[in-house]
Homo-oligomer: A and B are copies of this chain.
Amino acid sequence: MERVYNFSPGPSQLALPVLEKAQKELLCYGDTGMSVMEMSHRSKMYTDIYDKAVADLRELMNISDEYDVLFLQGGATQQFSAIPLNMMVNKKAAYIDSGNFAHLAAEEGKRYGEVKVVASSRDGNYTHIPDLGALEIDADADYLHITQNNTIYGTRYVELPETNVPLVCDASSMILSEVMDVNKYGVIYAGAQKNIGPSGLCVLIVKRDLLGRAMDICPKLLNWTVQSEKGSMYNTPNTWGIYVAGLTFQWLKSVGGVAEIEKVNKEKAAMLYAFLDESKLFKPTAEKKYRSRMNVTFVTGDADKDAAFVKAAAAEGLVNLKGHRTVGGMRASIYNAMPIEGVEKLVAFMKEFEAKNA
């Protein structure tokens, strides 16, 4: 069976060299005589894997010592709770609502304090990022939360909001896809299953001066300070997930790092949007200015044609192009691991489909 081009929004395609290395080492890692899955997380053989993953991520994102890097469990969703539980000292936070997950993050925040949604594109079906001019953020708000790329609606921030409170960013579907200036953030977190590795893992990059503020009711494992003191190992972490994430970081370094992959990502997205802009059948759904480079959403305007396209594409080895259940249509998720050939093949197939169905 040939491998397909997998446009899933997550879990999503991994780089082939990463999978090949994981496969080769699965029964026996180096000279250890065991699989990574069988290693004690406190053994030197494993802590070496862990330390290298952290060091490589620091290098790739240019993360200074002012920040701690943690590998946690529960995906980004668990951080929707952990963020207020770790940061709401004044029980007050600001959120920008730019999509489904941004909304869910704010809803969870409300359970632990006062949440003010300072900008929203919910009424516009989230086809754009809200206007960032004149945000009214209370000076004593504990943080401002944003979702920098919206996986479902295919939009991305083109600039960061101006604020004097710590900026907390869900970077799940854009981390490592473009250069980020980490120093502009208080917290960056990301579910791994898009640009990092397998699911069941969440990377947290937190400015150290934000630690030590958890609420009394914060479950121990969700307490960043506890995990920081123990190097993500208050208990057994997702050892396999961290290992595969580490392999992904090594692969990303081998292809030139984040700045290089950003160029490829821009090229992939430009190719797809250029076709969509001239297509007589397919229409892009996100406002041009805010188009995501990771999740490209489009429709034909006819649900039956959408379904026929998704089915026909799958038969050609272009799979998981169906849009999210809440919006319909199509979505091509083209994360770092999607090679440019996959996008070329997709565009060629869309042209072919259009010729027959326009």
Contacts and interface: CB of A to CB of B under 8 A. Distances in A.
Nearest to A192: B236
Interface string A208-222: 000000001101111
Contact of A33 (B3, B10, B30): B3
Nearest to A16: B27
A19 B43 contact: no
Interface string A69-81: 0000111111011
Contacts of A26: 19, 22-23, 26
B219 A10 contact: no
Nearest to A23: B26
Give the size category of A's interface with B: 35 or more
A8 interface: yes
Interface stretch (A54-62, A173-181, A198-206): A198-206
A304 B26 CA distance: 35
Given A26-B19, A219-B219, A220-B108, A238 B241 contact: yes
Given A3-B34, A11-B39, 20 more contacts: A1-B31, A1-B32, A2-B33, A3-B28, A4-B32, A4-B34, A8-B38, A14-B37, A23-B26, A74-B235, A78-B219, A81-B219, A108-B219, A111-B216, A198-B238, A198-B240, A199-B240, A200-B201, A200-B238, A219-B219
The 5 closest A-B pairs by CB, nearest first: A200-B238, A81-B219, A4-B33, A77-B235, A23-B26
